[in-house]
Chains A and B, each alone.
Chain A
């Protein structure tokens, strides 16, 4: 409870990327990712160029390389899926290192790995340079329905509280000698989930009453507004603009 209110994914630095308004960064990341996805997979150089662009952003934002690499671990399940592709896909077969593999499957594996990794790194950079609270404010500025951003705000604000509740339940179970070994533990664990739901929902009821007693009328007061100047928009547009050049080159078949 005494911990700071800065999210652990956010890396506080004084950099131009950190200072950009959140909605500009959101639009830039979305445009970048869509361009990457739309790039033909045969143009391998294009993906290398995208990676260089992201590395440049990371350097400007002073996000350490190691941090980014460590956080890409989130895509491990998909790497496994991608590695299966050459074995299950149909089409012409080739021999690679003595293995009988599908050629189109190899391309697919490359496709998933390259595009997936670029997308993951783009999201990691976004989360590392933007406070979660500001990200939601950015979504609000992009005309996302207020109710949705409010729900997301509450989820972020209480996510750690609910997770800590789950942690205390785990300690309570462990201190009573419980150990989840196999499927027979389901009953106990699912009862914890049920209790967690009740505690979360009842906390929601209390939060609502506390808000009503402070004058809540269905809208959240806007505490800090984040406007964007033309200069900031164009700074944020650098990444997707460079990506557009790469993508255009790839489509024209360089």
Chain B
């Protein structure tokens, strides 16, 4: 859910815009390191992927469904800097073209959904991989944990921004409890989708999972004698 205009007051919106601009500037430098001159097409196509993946609805139970947010997934698949860029560009296009999320709240949305999710998710992911054994199950488990934490982390950051510049006097303690409660549930869904997605990419192109690229090499080509068909 994107923060619209008028939800956060003007000074805090502008402040968040500055933080977002700084974060995106750092990500731009980092992405050039991750992808060099391939940055624009690859990050662009990944952004298109995140955008399309958000349109896929996952049924939860009778009638309700949720969709992917994709911050942690993008960071694990293409790297943290490129991940921040992809999600930021998706948010920019959504705000300008689809009126989804306010133009004045774009900074807030980038901070919450691109920067915080990637920092929390990817940070935890790399931390876990340091202590876990180096195999596919561990990478899948770490992706689950990363996505699970990234969503409530974003909700906590929202509560913080709301405490600074919220326009309604909702008790902050209550808001924090409600936001975290709901977003832990959303996080479980996000974690499930992220983990299965990462695991399925690992099976086919392990070299494309940026977060685990040095753990798992390319599968070696095995040549076998053809098995005669059973009649």
Question: How many CB-defined contacts (below 8 Å) exist between A and B?
Answer: 276
User: Is A147 positioned at the interface, with any CB of B under 8 Å from its CB?
Assistant: yes
Binds B, one of A59-67, A123-131, A221-229, A231-239: A123-131
* Cross-chain contact B43 with A90 (CB below 8 angstroms): no
CB-CB < 8 A to B48: which residues of A?
154-155, 158-159, 161-163, 200
Contact check, A201 vs B56: say whether CB atoms are below 8 A apart: no
How many residues in B have their beta carbons less than 8 Å from beta carbons of A?
A: 76
A110 → chain B closest CB, angstroms:
10
| Size class of the contact patch on chain A | 35 or more
Residues on the A chain within 8 Å of B40, using CB:
147, 150-151, 153-154, 218, 220
B97: chain A residues at CB < 8 Å are 7, 9, 123, 127, 132, 135
- Asked if A37 meets B13 with Cβ closer than 8 Å, knowing A123-B95, A201-B46, the reply is yes
User: Is the contact region of chain B dominated by helix, strand, or loop, or is it mixed?
Assistant: helix
Any chain B CB within 8 A of the CB of A42? no
Q: How far is the CA of A182 from the CA of B49 in the complex (A)?
A: 24
B interface footprint on A74-117 (CB within 8 Å = 1, 0 otherwise): 11011000000100111100000000000011011101101110
Q: Are B168 and A198 in contact (CB under 8 A)?
A: no
Whether the pair B53, A196 counts as a contact (CB closer than 8 A) is yes
Q: Are A190 and B104 closer than 8 Å at their CB atoms?
A: no
Identify which of B37, B167, B174, B193 contacts A88 (C-beta below 8 A).
B174
- B18 sits at the interface (CB 8 A): no
Specify the main secondary structure of chain A where it touches its partner: helix
B135 at the interface (CB under 8 A from A): no
Q: Tell me how far the C-beta of B88 lies from the nearest C-beta in chain A, rounded to whole angstroms.
A: 8
Which residues of B are found within 8 Å of A191, using beta-carbon distances? 196-197, 200
Residue of B nearest to A163 (CB): B52
